[in-house]
Amino acid sequence: MFSSLEIFPGIHHITDAMGVSFTLIEGSERGLVVDAGYGMEDCAAFVRTLTDKPVEVLLTHGHHDHALGARWFPSTLMCADDMPVFRLRTGREQREAVASQAADKNVPVPADYLSAPIPEPTPVLFSEDISGFPLCRMSLGDLEAWIVHVPLHTPGSCIVAVPKHHLLLTGDDWNPCTWMWFAESAGARIWRNSMARVVPALEKATGSSINTILCSHQGAPRTGNEMMTFISYMTDDRLASAPAVRMNSPINTHEISCPERGWTLVFDADKL
């Protein structure tokens, strides 16, 4: 069952039965759905209960918990650099693993979950640049969504700014628990330095501060100040001294945690 929180008028942050979130940004003419969740439920039908306007769907990256819900939509957009990730993470082996996780959570699995076709996304056309990061501005009528390619969590990862509302959707490039340990992820220092650069660049270009953050793994909004403090917390000293953590992977995963703030960064120490 979906739950939805209206953050601003027309902006709904939606959480699916598996606990991952995606967002509807509704303008006066059309909407943009950012990510699509695990796809256990018909997210397109749920979006239609929130808006009667035509919508496009953007996948911030190709991981299964963002892309498998694309099965319910006729088409999606995604940065072309994540196509290999998308193909792997929407394949049968990954679907079987997700179906098993759903069964463990008593979440009903659709009968066609392992076989339902998912159209390959259309590449986002980036026509501008902001501080070295490719940018696509999408008009939704009375507001714009700025899609920015920030290749950190995956090679095609994107974030989405909504200047009118001082809002940033971070995909998985930032969560209070940020994972930068996948084989396709950038190194932790690159992640920190890139995020520290792109956010001020966005604020300067839009002429508006980023006050509200919507994350893929948080049902409630966070603040821009928290995100930037999190990024600043991940110093070279903390990265160098971070203890190893087991992630059921051969990757050399290490972790920085700040329990009092509920923060975690897991990264591949071999990429430092």
- d(CA 160, CA 34) in angstroms, rounded, equals 8
**Closest alpha carbon to 73 in 94, 42, 103:** 42
Q: What is the mean pLDDT of residues 64-76?
A: 98
Q: State the Cα angle at 110 between 85 and 34, rounded to 5°.
A: 45
pLDDT in the model for residue 1: 85
* Segment 110-146, tens digit of pLDDT: 999 999 999 999 999 999 999 999 999 999 999 999 9
- d(CA 251, CA 33) in angstroms, rounded, equals 33
Residue type, position 10, single letter: G
* Segment 26-49, tens digit of pLDDT: 999 999 999 999 999 999 999 999
Which band of pLDDT confidence, cut at 50, 70 and 90, is reported for residue 209?
very high
pLDDT in the model for residue 25: 98
Which band of pLDDT confidence, cut at 50, 70 and 90, is reported for residue 219?
very high
The token pair at 84 is 């290999």
pLDDT in the model for residue 221: 98
- d(CA 230, CA 222) in angstroms, rounded, equals 12
DSSP state of 166: T
* Segment 57-69, tens digit of pLDDT: 999 999 999 999 9
Q: Judge whether residue 101 has pLDDT over 90.
A: yes
Q: Judge whether residue 253 has pLDDT over 90.
A: yes
Q: Judge whether residue 236 has pLDDT over 90.
A: yes
Q: What is the mean pLDDT of residues 80-90?
A: 98
- At the top level of CATH, the class of 3-234 is alpha beta
Domain-wise residue ranges, the chain = 3-234
pLDDT in the model for residue 259: 95
* Segment 257-267, tens digit of pLDDT: 999 999 999 99
